[in-house]
Structure 1
């Protein structure tokens, strides 16, 4: 989502282990007892979750009915007592089963077998009380009519400050509880007593701010493997890079134990990351809109942001594996982009008139591969836009971001595009993909900010950003127009599908870029 401001926030290293392993509380709601029989935990919660889950902003399967649930794990973080006023806290990993989406292609990372129901695994934190106080009424999920929670009230736990505080305490004193493992960086100092508040902005995950000091990002749709929002900031912190807030603590879930012959055990699920909260910062999206409203120049800020992006790319290339894209990889990349365009055109008829012209962007890229052109691939941010960058200013000015300047840009939210499979998001890619995402974000800002001539404002800002990137990296993305156009086209096609599904009134923004890119044969 190119314009939204996401949370301030992140494979643990081999040396990262729990500092202490306190005796866990009894996990009385276990996978075995919860899943058995019609009165089991999951069976009793299923009617409630069928209604509640699709209404959540982070639910990925909108527009398709939920046909069933499968329990991955259930853990009591706080006992769910049947009497008294103390709330219980239940952690669930649940697979929501749905029909395949139209045009779905099976492959690595799709999460299900051909002919089987599609399923995504979701992390749920459920509060349990005998009676819900009025202040928590918006958190209500429902009252199970059977099972171990019969007669109790189940609600979204993150809206309950008492339960949100308990989650921070688990991260302060790492250890293992059932399938859950809480870990902490040895140098991290996490104080107790930090008041929590749940962010209510639209996100593909959930974030809790603790006392304007830390932010906990909880991944809602989870997969086996290390989430890049933990892996990349941790790796960058170990290089001394100051452009990305360093993870202080995180937690994960062991993969479920499958039956005999099920194959090798999968990797743990990354569930949440605690990072410093940059309370004195403003995200780039808001800064751009403010500049558009007041008529202030944004090119200096964009130039500094280009430098910051290049510094992060260089740090990732130094510390993480890179590869070289040769003819087979380049032709495959172009073919995948072409397939995405065809799928998008099938879903959004407005793309049809431009389909042939847009395909030339990918054909030109493949032709360069056949001619012997190569590019370096590395780990990248994966979903870079103005909502994923924060600017801190010691003096509140709009000065430079160089040595001794007042302004400092930080990059956040390295999860990548959540709709893509995790293994794809962790794959090395050309850095220009991040650059294309930011250039598209400038177009969004110009359109939404109401500039008299959005192409002029976006053009100046794009040029300043690329110049800043070239200054820090030694490589100007504009010097490889075929590569840049292909990635910008791929991003704009993604935006068309997103806006058509979620915000039809914004569809004109990416469609304007589609028309420009279709006419821009390099």
Structure 2
């Protein structure tokens, strides 16, 4: 049975969310023949009494070439069943269907109004992603397919199409999407955007700057070393602010009053208590963290909230030859969809990027024999680029005055407390990175 093949194959896929837990049962909830030898499946997987659904493009061949052996699922009715997203001869239907606004049973392939899609490029699977699968078509498009399906419109599709309609800068142009209905709700299966073929990843650029600094004499400051990143950090701050301005114009905004801010402070205290109980290394810093949280209790002004990125760091931005582009507006994939779409303070994104600068500065020092020697340089690099980013953010129209300082600091520390717990669980040698936030 196909269900048995899928149950054996799924746990070995990097995007499968239920690793380490037994599959109680598996069902094929939707099975649509795209063309002969190609089927689109929605697979329901029951584990620990709850169901998750996954998207699989199933190919069937009498013979499987060597370059597709890694995608083999198993033998089904004397045919080779395999993950057809790895087969460029099978994935042309995605571009063709979006270009034609095609509907195939419950599958709806749509083109963003006002765009044209070239259907001739062949696809190649990107290998780095954990929770999704992305296909690059030539140098024109990148199509992200959401493997784990959550009923509802994906925030990334919602945001980039709204911003594109406003001709907003700093986003990758959307071209189309694929959707179906789950539990009676329109649900995003895939989104196709402009592929930034000549862009550089923000994290990689920052690490290049840090390597240049650590290759200099220890007394060299970040401003004196080759590859100073501050100008780029400032441009990134400006781009971030402009994206926030566009989000506030494209979606509803609101305010949070002081009593709700105090509730947020109480939540931070609870999370801090749980973190200290799990990670004793955090205990010496509790007083300073609690003092920062206490400043929220005294705020008498409202906090502005709006749609935000929600998972903002240097790995979510790309530097093109002309400017910074912000990617991946889907928020934290592990959070419920309603939470990812909820209004929040734009300072949450700002704090996420500030923490990312800290990680970039110290990432290369984890386990390094000369970590103590380079620590002053790491602190200097982080401080310099954080200040430049905030300067650019203000210049781009971001609200970041004296009244926002306590909120920003609280968001930073809350993120750092989360990082302490994460590193203690998964990468103990990296624990000094978030702990440096409290020094």
Greater RCO, CA 8 A, separation 6+:
1
* Residues paired across the two proteins, number: 417
Structure 2 Cα separation of the partners of residues 416 and 284 of structure 1: 18
Which of the pair is proportionally richer in helix? 2
Give 1:184's aligned residue. Answer: 111
Q: State whether residues 243 and 312 of structure 1, in contact with CA within 8 Å, keep that contact through their aligned partners in structure 2.
A: yes
**Which whole-Å deviations, capped at 9, do the CAs of 1:446-482 have from their partners, x for residues lacking one?**
1224582322211111111011101112533676332
Structure 2 Cα separation of the partners of residues 419 and 139 of structure 1: 26
Q: State whether residues 489 and 514 of structure 1, in contact with CA within 8 Å, keep that contact through their aligned partners in structure 2.
A: no
Compute the TM-score of the two structures, normalised by the length of structure 2: 0.87
Q: SS of 2:386's equivalent?
A: helix
- How many angstroms does 1:330 deviate by? 2.0
Give 1:420's aligned residue. Answer: 335
Structure 2 Cα separation of the partners of residues 328 and 208 of structure 1: 47
Counterpart check, 1:129 vs 2:47: no
Q: State whether residues 276 and 283 of structure 2, in contact with CA within 8 Å, keep that contact through their aligned partners in structure 1.
A: no
- How many angstroms does 1:308 deviate by? 0.2
Q: SS of 1:473's equivalent?
A: coil
What is the aligned counterpart of 1:51 among 2, 5, 8?
Answer: 8
The residue correspondences of 1:104-115 to structure 2 (distance < 5 A) are none
Pair 426,454 (structure 1): closer, same or farther in 2 beyond 3 Å: same
Give 2:305's aligned residue. Answer: 377
Structure 2 Cα separation of the partners of residues 351 and 94 of structure 1: 43
Give 1:118's aligned residue. Answer: 50
Counterpart check, 1:139 vs 2:71: yes
**Which whole-Å deviations, capped at 9, do the CAs of 1:146-177 have from their partners, x for residues lacking one?**
xxx43322211111111122222222222211
Give 2:433's aligned residue. Answer: 512
Give 2:204's aligned residue. Answer: 286
| Unpaired runs of at least 5, structure 1 | 1-43, 80-87, 100-116, 144-148, 257-264, 394-406
**Which whole-Å deviations, capped at 9, do the CAs of 1:1-28 have from their partners, x for residues lacking one?**
xxxxxxxxxxxxxxxxxxxxxxxxxxxx
Pair 188,342 (structure 1): closer, same or farther in 2 beyond 3 Å: farther
Counterpart check, 1:91 vs 2:6: no
Structure 2 Cα separation of the partners of residues 411 and 489 of structure 1: 24
Q: SS of 1:186's equivalent?
A: coil
Q: SS of 1:75's equivalent?
A: strand
Counterpart check, 1:320 vs 2:247: no
Pair 510,167 (structure 1): closer, same or farther in 2 beyond 3 Å: farther
- How many angstroms does 1:416 deviate by? 0.6
Which of the pair is proportionally richer in strand? 2
305-314 or 373-382, which deviates more: 373-382
Q: State whether residues 361 and 382 of structure 2, in contact with CA within 8 Å, keep that contact through their aligned partners in structure 1.
A: yes
Q: State whether residues 361 and 482 of structure 1, in contact with CA within 8 Å, keep that contact through their aligned partners in structure 2.
A: no
Pair 430,188 (structure 1): closer, same or farther in 2 beyond 3 Å: same
Q: State whether residues 466 and 478 of structure 1, in contact with CA within 8 Å, keep that contact through their aligned partners in structure 2.
A: no
Q: State whether residues 94 and 109 of structure 2, in contact with CA within 8 Å, keep that contact through their aligned partners in structure 1.
A: no
Q: SS of 1:495's equivalent?
A: helix
Structure 2 Cα separation of the partners of residues 333 and 271 of structure 1: 34
Q: State whether residues 241 and 398 of structure 2, in contact with CA within 8 Å, keep that contact through their aligned partners in structure 1.
A: no
Pair 142,380 (structure 1): closer, same or farther in 2 beyond 3 Å: same
Q: State whether residues 466 and 477 of structure 1, in contact with CA within 8 Å, keep that contact through their aligned partners in structure 2.
A: no
